[in-house]
Structure 1
Amino acid sequence: MTNYQIDYKKNLARNLKYYRELNDLKAYELGNLLHVSKSTISSWETGTRSPDINILVKISEIFNISLDEFCNTSNNCFFT
Protein backbone atom coordinates (compact mmCIF):
# COMPACT_ATOMS: atom_id res chain seq x y z
CA MET A 1 0.00 0.00 0.00
CA THR A 2 1.40 3.39 -0.97
CA ASN A 3 1.58 6.42 1.32
CA TYR A 4 -1.16 8.04 -0.79
CA GLN A 5 -3.46 5.08 -0.20
CA ILE A 6 -2.76 5.19 3.54
CA ASP A 7 -3.43 8.95 3.69
CA TYR A 8 -6.62 8.51 1.68
CA LYS A 9 -7.89 5.83 4.05
CA LYS A 10 -7.09 7.99 7.10
CA ASN A 11 -8.82 11.03 5.58
CA LEU A 12 -11.82 8.98 4.56
CA ALA A 13 -12.13 7.38 8.01
CA ARG A 14 -11.81 10.72 9.80
CA ASN A 15 -14.24 12.48 7.43
CA LEU A 16 -16.85 9.74 7.66
CA LYS A 17 -16.97 9.95 11.44
CA TYR A 18 -16.88 13.75 11.38
CA TYR A 19 -19.79 14.13 8.95
CA ARG A 20 -21.78 11.33 10.61
CA GLU A 21 -21.50 13.04 14.00
CA LEU A 22 -22.09 16.49 12.46
CA ASN A 23 -25.38 15.15 11.09
CA ASP A 24 -26.31 13.60 14.47
CA LEU A 25 -26.36 10.07 13.08
CA LYS A 26 -25.45 6.97 15.03
CA ALA A 27 -23.38 4.36 13.21
CA TYR A 28 -26.37 2.02 12.99
CA GLU A 29 -28.54 4.81 11.54
CA LEU A 30 -26.04 5.55 8.78
CA GLY A 31 -25.72 1.81 8.23
CA ASN A 32 -29.49 1.54 7.78
CA LEU A 33 -29.45 4.35 5.21
CA LEU A 34 -26.66 2.61 3.29
CA HIS A 35 -27.98 -0.93 3.82
CA VAL A 36 -24.84 -2.05 5.64
CA SER A 37 -24.20 -3.14 9.22
CA LYS A 38 -23.04 -0.96 12.09
CA SER A 39 -19.80 -2.97 12.14
CA THR A 40 -19.19 -2.08 8.49
CA ILE A 41 -19.52 1.61 9.35
CA SER A 42 -17.11 1.06 12.23
CA SER A 43 -14.56 -0.64 9.97
CA TRP A 44 -14.75 2.30 7.56
CA GLU A 45 -14.33 4.80 10.41
CA THR A 46 -11.29 3.00 11.78
CA GLY A 47 -9.74 2.69 8.35
CA THR A 48 -9.57 -1.10 8.33
CA ARG A 49 -11.82 -1.17 5.26
CA SER A 50 -13.01 1.40 2.74
CA PRO A 51 -16.38 1.78 1.02
CA ASP A 52 -16.57 1.35 -2.73
CA ILE A 53 -17.28 4.26 -5.06
CA ASN A 54 -21.04 3.61 -5.17
CA ILE A 55 -21.25 3.82 -1.39
CA LEU A 56 -19.08 6.94 -1.35
CA VAL A 57 -21.51 8.62 -3.73
CA LYS A 58 -24.45 7.64 -1.48
CA ILE A 59 -22.61 8.93 1.59
CA SER A 60 -21.94 12.29 -0.05
CA GLU A 61 -25.61 12.51 -1.02
CA ILE A 62 -26.74 11.71 2.54
CA PHE A 63 -24.43 14.40 3.93
CA ASN A 64 -25.34 16.80 1.09
CA ILE A 65 -21.71 17.47 0.19
CA SER A 66 -19.66 16.88 -2.94
CA LEU A 67 -17.64 13.71 -3.25
CA ASP A 68 -14.51 15.85 -3.53
CA GLU A 69 -15.36 17.63 -0.29
CA PHE A 70 -16.04 14.32 1.42
CA CYS A 71 -12.72 12.87 0.24
CA ASN A 72 -11.08 16.11 1.37
CA THR A 73 -8.58 16.23 -1.45
CA SER A 74 -7.92 18.34 -4.48
CA ASN A 75 -6.30 15.31 -6.12
CA ASN A 76 -8.12 12.26 -7.42
CA CYS A 77 -9.48 9.91 -4.80
CA PHE A 78 -8.04 6.42 -4.81
CA PHE A 79 -10.85 3.92 -5.10
CA THR A 80 -10.21 0.23 -4.47
Structure 2
Amino acid sequence: MAEPAPLAEPLAVAEELPSLPPAPAPAPAPPSPALPAALVGHARKVADDHRARTGEPIDTDTLGARLGVPPQLASAIAVQLT
Protein backbone atom coordinates (compact mmCIF):
# COMPACT_ATOMS: atom_id res chain seq x y z
CA MET A 1 0.00 0.00 0.00
CA ALA A 2 1.36 3.40 -0.97
CA GLU A 3 2.08 5.91 1.75
CA PRO A 4 0.17 9.20 1.60
CA ALA A 5 2.10 12.16 0.26
CA PRO A 6 3.59 14.32 2.99
CA LEU A 7 1.65 17.47 3.83
CA ALA A 8 3.06 20.71 2.48
CA GLU A 9 4.83 22.92 4.95
CA PRO A 10 2.62 25.79 6.18
CA LEU A 11 3.49 29.18 4.80
CA ALA A 12 5.26 31.50 7.15
CA VAL A 13 3.23 34.55 8.15
CA ALA A 14 5.02 37.85 7.87
CA GLU A 15 5.64 39.33 11.28
CA GLU A 16 4.82 42.85 10.18
CA LEU A 17 2.62 43.94 7.34
CA PRO A 18 3.71 47.01 5.43
CA SER A 19 1.68 50.06 6.38
CA LEU A 20 -0.61 51.43 3.73
CA PRO A 21 -0.84 55.12 2.94
CA PRO A 22 -3.94 56.80 4.37
CA ALA A 23 -7.03 56.64 2.21
CA PRO A 24 -7.81 59.83 0.33
CA ALA A 25 -10.62 61.97 1.72
CA PRO A 26 -13.93 61.39 -0.03
CA ALA A 27 -14.86 63.96 -2.63
CA PRO A 28 -17.40 66.47 -1.39
CA ALA A 29 -20.94 65.97 -2.61
CA PRO A 30 -21.86 68.21 -5.50
CA PRO A 31 -23.91 71.16 -4.34
CA SER A 32 -27.60 70.80 -4.89
CA PRO A 33 -28.95 73.20 -7.46
CA ALA A 34 -30.60 76.36 -6.20
CA LEU A 35 -34.32 75.82 -6.47
CA PRO A 36 -36.65 78.74 -7.11
CA ALA A 37 -39.38 78.95 -4.49
CA ALA A 38 -42.03 79.13 -7.23
CA LEU A 39 -40.82 75.81 -8.70
CA VAL A 40 -40.89 74.10 -5.30
CA GLY A 41 -44.35 75.55 -4.66
CA HIS A 42 -45.62 74.26 -8.00
CA ALA A 43 -44.04 70.87 -7.34
CA ARG A 44 -45.79 70.74 -3.97
CA LYS A 45 -49.16 71.35 -5.69
CA VAL A 46 -48.41 68.64 -8.26
CA ALA A 47 -47.42 66.22 -5.50
CA ASP A 48 -50.53 67.03 -3.43
CA ASP A 49 -52.76 66.55 -6.49
CA HIS A 50 -51.12 63.20 -7.22
CA ARG A 51 -51.66 62.04 -3.63
CA ALA A 52 -55.31 63.17 -3.70
CA ARG A 53 -55.96 61.25 -6.95
CA THR A 54 -53.98 58.08 -6.22
CA GLY A 55 -53.64 57.92 -2.45
CA GLU A 56 -49.88 57.44 -2.91
CA PRO A 57 -46.98 59.88 -2.71
CA ILE A 58 -45.56 60.94 -6.04
CA ASP A 59 -42.35 59.22 -7.11
CA THR A 60 -39.40 61.19 -8.45
CA ASP A 61 -39.79 60.01 -12.05
CA THR A 62 -43.44 61.03 -12.16
CA LEU A 63 -42.67 64.36 -10.52
CA GLY A 64 -39.95 65.05 -13.07
CA ALA A 65 -42.26 64.14 -15.95
CA ARG A 66 -45.10 66.30 -14.65
CA LEU A 67 -42.75 69.27 -14.15
CA GLY A 68 -40.75 68.68 -17.33
CA VAL A 69 -37.41 68.70 -15.53
CA PRO A 70 -34.41 66.32 -15.71
CA PRO A 71 -34.14 63.48 -13.14
CA GLN A 72 -31.39 65.15 -11.10
CA LEU A 73 -33.46 68.30 -10.66
CA ALA A 74 -36.58 66.24 -9.87
CA SER A 75 -34.62 64.47 -7.11
CA ALA A 76 -33.51 67.79 -5.63
CA ILE A 77 -37.10 69.05 -5.70
CA ALA A 78 -38.41 65.84 -4.12
CA VAL A 79 -36.03 66.33 -1.19
CA GLN A 80 -37.56 69.77 -0.62
CA LEU A 81 -41.05 68.27 -0.52
CA THR A 82 -40.32 65.89 2.36
Under a length normalisation based on structure 2, what TM-score does the superposition of the two structures give?
0.35
Larger RCO of the pair (alpha carbons < 8 Å, separation 6+): 1
- Which structure's residues are more often helix, by fraction? 1
TM-score (norm 1): 0.35
